[in-house]
């Protein structure tokens, strides 16, 4: 017994040195290097974002004024002055009409996927195809509306552009709304069914209200995306120089005007393009921010 | 025993039943709309583009859309090879530049960043995704393209003499509108997409794998290399393919900065053309077979992007199944 007591403490196993400085230099360097590369990647992405916002704001703010937002577009690109009134009107009318078509269709489609179809073959096919449709280039959607609508009625119009934008929004709304419907707990549906409500009644008065803020948030994002689409509008809407608040007849949007004026060599046209770009950015950002605010409120409610 | 109240009939068949069926029919037809639209796109566009499809449409790089000599012997030629080439080159540049950046950001967000910074960065990346492509195009043509000319010149001076690289980095265009500029702008635009999918993929790596790596004394990078990357390789490949699909279909930004010249050249600093770009550029001045040729290019674009997207979804789904298997 005494022998163990007198054994020297030095014989106990040395605890491993777990400090960072004990690592071999090479491993430490590789670690630090890879971490700084990740930081650098972030920086590489954020610099262009900062530059775009800086250039659009600084060059747009010089052009923009109340008059710029309501005045007609000069019919010669080289003329100084004028405004983007028709483009603002067109953007609001066309995007609004597209949303009015795509939102009901998209939400109903998502209800089918989540409440009826679930995992059956048709629902799975529709799910895959709406993912694919999200990837269809906007220019193709413009061509599609041209051959299937403009060629039939023989007139380029704001309505045609709204159709094209609606087709672009549809799959986005379907998929985002479906995600939101999936978050609604099944207990709510069962409770409603237990009270004797029909399936459609349950869906309309229980499931939809529970998911509505998430759905609205997704819809806002889709609208923001659609407002910035250019190619379909260029292909099917024609162009105007005076405001056209109706869906009939040719129309134009901010995005289409930016595209048109950016390619012009005249400073006056380029200035109008910067002004239109700032206006468009503000509209898009408003919708994006609103979408985030709404979805963050939803997150709190869920908790 | 009391008699049940007859008014509480739980199997009432008359009211509500029709509403139920009607609502179901509404929902199904809304779902069908997606399938119908996709089918219509293919059918109507192929029908309209049919007159333009010929052997030379796919094999020639000559593009003479308007009859050069009226009723003379020369005929318009619609060869789309140069545009296909431009699309491939530009999206290749975009993917090569964007993938390391996006994967880096995604790793930074999932493995490195503290929670508070993470939300801020995600917001910023979302903001990058929200900028309309035409605004990137405007910025590209008026700011980036002129600013890149000295950079291109410098790269050309340094690498121009090297045998293989020299042909890639040839004499730059004085306007700066080139394959390279278009590729770089596109890269910025696809970074948010690849980042967000890569982040989702990295987030599915099971914690036990990571903890095992930590327990073995791995540094953070060694943990990423040993546990995160092998686990998420398939998913990241899917994300990259999706980014590629988006890059190939992107129209306006490319149309503005690629320089609009119909040519096939290895020189990345030369101007070129891309499939979607020529459609919006020449749409206004086209008639007859010319229009059909442009629509035909739309069909080609549609088929390519649909295939790319299907492959990407397939890859991502397979990777997900594999991951779920590993996590269980």
* A267 contacts chain B (CB < 8 A): no
A180-222 per-position pLDDT tens digit: 999 999 999 999 999 988 889 999 999 999 999 889 999 999 9
* B295 contacts chain A (CB < 8 A): yes
Long-range contacts of B29-33 (CB under 8 A, 24+ apart): B30/A104, B30/A105, B30/A106, B30/A107, B30/A108, B30/A109, B30/A111, B30/A112, B31/A108, B31/A109, B31/A112, B31/A113, B31/A117, B31/A122, B31/A123, B31/A126, B31/A174, B32/A126, B33/A105, B33/A109, B33/A170
Q: Which of A113, A234, A59, A62 is nearest to B143 (CA)?
A: A59
How high is the pLDDT of residue A83? 84
How high is the pLDDT of residue B325? 63
Q: Which residues of B touch A108 (CB under 8 A)?
A: 26-27, 30-31
CATH of the domain at B150: 1.10.3720.10
Domain that holds residue B224: 83-327
What's the average model confidence in pLDDT over B8-19?
Answer: 64
What's the average model confidence in pLDDT over A156-170?
Answer: 94
pLDDT class for A49, splitting at 50, 70, 90?
very high
Whether B140 is in a domain gets the answer yes
Where is average pLDDT lowest: B40-44, B84-88, B233-237? B233-237
Cα–Cα distance, B87 to B89 (Å, whole number): 6
B216-252 per-position pLDDT tens digit: 988 899 999 999 998 888 889 999 999 999 999 998 9
Under an 8 A CB cutoff, do A109 and B126 touch?
no
Given the structure tokens 């179809």, which residue do they identify? Answer: A117
Cβ-contact B152, B269 below 8 angstroms: yes
* A191 contacts chain B (CB < 8 A): no
A6-43 per-position pLDDT tens digit: 555 555 567 777 777 778 888 889 999 999 999 999 99
Cα–Cα distance, A208 to A137 (Å, whole number): 31
Q: Which of A69, A17, A114 is nearest to A254 (CA)?
A: A69
Under an 8 A CB cutoff, do B34 and A137 touch?
no
Whether B74 is in a domain gets the answer no
* Residue A39 DSSP class: H
How high is the pLDDT of residue B181? 94
* B128 contacts chain A (CB < 8 A): yes
Closest approach of A233 to chain B, Cα-based (Å): 10
Residues 62-91 of A with CB under 8 A from B: none
B53-69 per-position pLDDT tens digit: 888 888 888 888 877 77
Cα–Cα distance, A258 to A235 (Å, whole number): 15
Whether B213 is in a domain gets the answer yes
How high is the pLDDT of residue B327? 54
> How many percent of chain B have pLDDT more than 70?
92
Cβ-contact A277, A302 below 8 angstroms: no
pLDDT class for B183, splitting at 50, 70, 90?
very high
Chain A and chain B share a number of CB contacts under 8 A equal to 271
How high is the pLDDT of residue A105? 95
Q: Is the pLDDT of residue B1 over 60?
A: no
B198-212 per-position pLDDT tens digit: 998 898 888 899 999
Q: Is the pLDDT of residue B9 over 80?
A: no
Whether B12 is in a domain gets the answer no
Under an 8 A CB cutoff, do A38 and B104 touch?
yes
What's the average model confidence in pLDDT over A80-89?
Answer: 87
Whether B17 is in a domain gets the answer no
Cα–Cα distance, A232 to A133 (Å, whole number): 15
How high is the pLDDT of residue A188? 92
Q: Which residues of B touch A148 (CB under 8 A)?
A: 40, 44
pLDDT class for B14, splitting at 50, 70, 90?
low
Closest approach of B209 to chain A, Cα-based (Å): 19
Cα–Cα distance, B187 to B167 (Å, whole number): 22
Q: Is the pLDDT of residue A149 over 90?
A: yes
- The count of structural domains within chain B is 1
What does the H/E/C string look like for B157-191?
HHHCCCHHHHHHCCCCCCCCCCHHHHHHHHHHHHH
pLDDT class for B328, splitting at 50, 70, 90?
very low
> How many percent of chain A have pLDDT more than 70?
93
How high is the pLDDT of residue A303? 39
Under an 8 A CB cutoff, do B104 and A262 touch?
no
| Burial state string for B42-55 with b = 16 or more CB within 10 A and e = fewer than 16 | eebbbebbeebbee
Q: Which domains, from first to last, does chain A contain?
A: 66-302 (1.10.3720.10)
- The runs of H, that is alpha helices, within B61-114 are 81-107
B118-149 per-position pLDDT tens digit: 989 998 998 999 999 999 999 999 999 999 99
Q: Which residues of A touch B191 (CB under 8 A)?
A: 45
* A111 contacts chain B (CB < 8 A): yes
How high is the pLDDT of residue B6? 54
Q: What is the DSSP string of A209-258?
A: HHHHHHHHHHHHHHHHHHHT--HHHHHHS---SS---SSSS----HHHHH
Under an 8 A CB cutoff, do A38 and B107 touch?
yes
Q: Which residues of B touch A141 (CB under 8 A)?
A: 41
Please give the C-alpha separations between residue A237 and each of A41, B195, B280, B309, in angstroms, as whole numbers. Answer: 40, 34, 12, 28
Reported as type and span, the H/E element at residue A171 is helix A158-183
* B214 contacts chain A (CB < 8 A): no
| Burial state string for A146-175 with b = 16 or more CB within 10 A and e = fewer than 16 | bbbbbeeeeebbbbbbbbbbbbbbbbbbbb
How high is the pLDDT of residue A298? 64
pLDDT class for A257, splitting at 50, 70, 90?
very high
Q: Is the pLDDT of residue A1 over 90?
A: no
Closest-CA residue of B relative to A174 is B31
pLDDT class for A300, splitting at 50, 70, 90?
very low
CB-count exposure of residue A276 (10 Å: 0-12, 13-18, 19+):
buried
């Amino acid at each position: 017994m005494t022998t163990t007591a007198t054994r020297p403490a030095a014989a106990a196993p040395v605890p491993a040195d777990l400090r960072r400085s004990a690592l071999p230099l090479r491993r430490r360097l590789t670690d630090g290097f890879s971490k700084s590369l990740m930081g650098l990647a972030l920086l590489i992405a954020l610099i262009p974002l900062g530059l775009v916002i800086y250039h659009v704001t600084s060059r747009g703010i010089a052009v923009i004024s109340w008059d710029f937002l309501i005045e007609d577009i000069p019919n010669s690109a080289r003329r100084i002055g004028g405004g983007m009134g028709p483009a603002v009107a067109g953007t609001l009318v066309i995007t609004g009409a597209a949303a009015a078509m795509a939102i009901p269709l998209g939400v109903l489609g998502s209800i089918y996927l989540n409440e009826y179809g679930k995992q059956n073959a048709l629902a799975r096919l529709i799910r895959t195809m709406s993912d694919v449709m999200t990837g269809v280039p906007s220019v193709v959607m413009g061509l599609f509306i041209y051959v299937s609508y403009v060629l039939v009625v023989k007139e380029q119009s704001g309505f045609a552009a709204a159709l094209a934008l609606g087709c672009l929004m549809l799959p986005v709304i379907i998929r985002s709304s479906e995600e939101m419907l999936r978050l609604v707990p099944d207990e709510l549906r069962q409770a409603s069914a237990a009270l004797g409500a029909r399936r459609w009644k349950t869906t309309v008065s229980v499931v939809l209200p529970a998911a509505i803020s998430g759905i609205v948030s997704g819809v806002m994002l889709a609208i923001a995306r659609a407002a910035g689409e250019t190619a379909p509008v260029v292909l099917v809407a024609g162009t105007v120089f005076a405001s056209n608040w109706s869906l009939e007849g040719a129309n134009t949007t901010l995005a289409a005007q930016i595209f048109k004026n950016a390619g012009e060599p005249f400073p006056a046209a380029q200035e109008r393009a910067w002004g239109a770009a700032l206006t468009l950015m503000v509209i898009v950002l408003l919708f994006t921010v609103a979408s985030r605010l709404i979805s963050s409120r939803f997150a709190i409610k869920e908790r | 025993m009391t008699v049940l109240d007859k008014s509480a009939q739980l199997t009432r068949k008359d009211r509500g039943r029709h509403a139920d069926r009607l609502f179901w029919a509404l929902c199904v037809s809304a779902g069908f709309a997606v399938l119908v639209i996709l089918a219509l796109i293919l059918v109507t566009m192929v029908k309209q583009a049919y007159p333009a499809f010929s052997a030379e449409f796919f094999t020639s790089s000559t593009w003479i859309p308007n009859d050069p000599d009226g009723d003379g012997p020369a005929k318009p030629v619609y060869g789309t090879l140069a545009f296909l080439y431009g699309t491939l080159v530009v999206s290749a540049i975009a993917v090569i530049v964007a993938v390391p950046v996006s994967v880096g950001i995604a790793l930074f967000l999932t493995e490195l960043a503290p929670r508070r910074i993470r939300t801020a960065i995600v917001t910023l990346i979302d903001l990058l995704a929200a900028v309309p492509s035409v605004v990137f195009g405007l910025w590209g043509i008026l700011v980036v393209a002129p600013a890149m000319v000295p950079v291109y010149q410098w790269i050309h001076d340094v690498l121009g003499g090297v045998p293989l690289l020299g042909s890639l980095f040839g004499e730059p265009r004085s306007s700066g509108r080139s394959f390279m500029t278009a590729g770089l702008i596109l890269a910025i635009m696809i970074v948010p997409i690849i980042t967000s999918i890569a982040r989702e993929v990295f987030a599915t790596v099971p914690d036990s794998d990571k903890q095992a790596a930590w327990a073995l004394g791995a540094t953070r990078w060694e943990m990423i290399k040993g546990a995160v990357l092998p686990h998420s390789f398939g998913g990241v490949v899917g994300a990259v393919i999706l980014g590629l699909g988006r890059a190939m279909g992107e129209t306006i930004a490319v149309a503005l900065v690629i320089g609009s010249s119909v040519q096939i050249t290895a020189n990345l600093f030369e101007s070129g053309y891309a499939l979607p770009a020529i459609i919006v550029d020449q749409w206004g001045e086209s008639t007859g077979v010319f229009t059909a040729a442009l629509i035909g290019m739309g069909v080609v674009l549609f088929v390519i992007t649909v295939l790319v997207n299907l492959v990407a979804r397939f890859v991502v789904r397979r990777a997900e199944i594999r991951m779920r298997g590993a996590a269980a």
